Amino acid sequence: MIVDHAIKHKTPVFVMGNVEELEKLWETLPKQMFTDIFIRPINVVEMVENIKRQMDEYYKMKKRTILAVDDSGVILRNIKTLLEDKYQVIPVNSSEMAIKYLALNIPDLILLDYEMPIVDGRQFMQMIREDTEFQNIPIIFLTGKNDAQTVMDVMSLKPNGYLLKSMDAQKLHAAIDDFFKKQTK
């Protein structure tokens, strides 16, 4: 039912009608569930402006999805705990699990460990970039190494960013926030 979907997904719901129609509607649905109510006769320009403003706000508030790929459960838990206030974090502990996730979902960002067993971050990124369905998903590498050779290796792949696992929690959060702010400009 539409009502269940709207409640479950916190989707904005707009309603319009005359006073009698709306009173009848409120006998079955609570008035509070509606994002905005438009009573006939309607000023169409005002209605469109209100709906646009509220939908813009809705999309700003909707949590972005981050697929965190790392073979360390500790790192995954830390990332999830750190970012879940603002983002939906999907932690997976291998490239194989990430591929399974991507078969059904497209995240807004992949935080990718550079060094993992079996399929490492480099190989995973190459697979993603070769697939037209996934090639535009932004990827930021996470690594524990910051020596010149590792930095050159990582940056040669042209990821959307590079972060150190040892980064201060606030700086890591700020880096992710800044990344998404730049994406929306």
Domain definitions of the chain by residue range:
2-61, 64-184
Q: What is the pLDDT of residues 46-89, one digit of tens each?
A: 999 999 988 877 776 678 899 999 999 999 999 999 998 889 99
Q: Between residues 2 and 137, which one has the greater pLDDT? A: 137
The CATH fold assigned to 64-184 is: Rossmann fold (3.40.50)
CA pair distance 47, 157, nearest whole angstrom = 48
CA pair distance 117, 72, nearest whole angstrom = 11
> Sign of dihedral through CA atoms 84, 105, 62, 33?
negative
CA pair distance 73, 94, nearest whole angstrom = 10
Instruction: Give pairs for 180-184: CB < 8 Å, separation 24+.
Output: 180/64, 180/108, 180/109, 183/108, 183/138
Residue 22, pLDDT above cutoff 70? yes
pTM of the model: 0.66
